[in-house]
């Protein structure tokens, strides 16, 4: 895990899910996924959009040409855990179909314009996954 992510995770846990810096004021969760190749637990901080009882996460990787590792982990092992605030929730990941994905991605980009920038930087369709409590 990068030092950057480790610092965010530590701050998140010390402050009941709140962090400063680039993520100050943004809804943030910690995703615990199982490595697609290694089988080891991975923890990834990420922004989310609440959608009813679901947590939507965006595989933007800041507009990189490829999907983030956590996306591949969830596709291989969709049962995961998330930390939201002080709560830990067992979830199941499912990729949204294209029409719903487009709607929810636009909603996230309206709230956080950086997501619109990510979409402009890449040729791929950035996946949106729903994390539903199980």
pLDDT in tens, 103-131: 999 999 999 999 999 999 999 999 999 99
Task: Copy the structure tokens of residue 37.
Answer: 């190749």
pTM: 0.96
Which of 126, 130, 127, 125 shows the shortest CA–CA distance to 80?
130
Asked whether the beta carbons of 75 and 39 are under 8 A apart, the reply is no
- Cβ 30 vs Cβ 19: under 8 Å: no
**Closest to 112 in 3D by CA, of 20, 47, 46, 56:** 47
Domains of the chain: 3-133 (2.30.110.10)
pLDDT in tens, the chain (134 residues): 579 899 999 999 999 999 999 899 999 999 999 999 999 999 999 999 999 999 999 999 999 999 999 999 999 999 999 999 999 999 999 999 999 999 999 999 999 999 999 999 999 999 999 999 99
């Amino acid at each position: 895990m990068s030092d950057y992510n480790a610092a965010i995770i530590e701050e998140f846990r010390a402050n009941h899910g709140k962090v400063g810096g680039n993520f100050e004021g943004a809804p943030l969760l910690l995703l615990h996924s199982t490595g697609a190749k290694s089988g080891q637990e991975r923890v990834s901080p990420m922004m989310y959009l609440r959608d009813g009882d679901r947590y939507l996460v965006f595989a933007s990787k800041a507009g990189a040409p490829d999907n983030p590792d956590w996306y591949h982990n969830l596709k291989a092992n969709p049962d995961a855990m998330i930390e939201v605030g002080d709560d830990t929730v067992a979830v199941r990941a499912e990729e949204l179909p294209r029409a719903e994905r487009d709607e929810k991605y636009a909603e996230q980009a309206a709230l956080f314009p950086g997501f619109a920038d990510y979409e402009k930087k890449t040729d791929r369709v950035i996946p949106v996954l729903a994390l539903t409590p199980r």
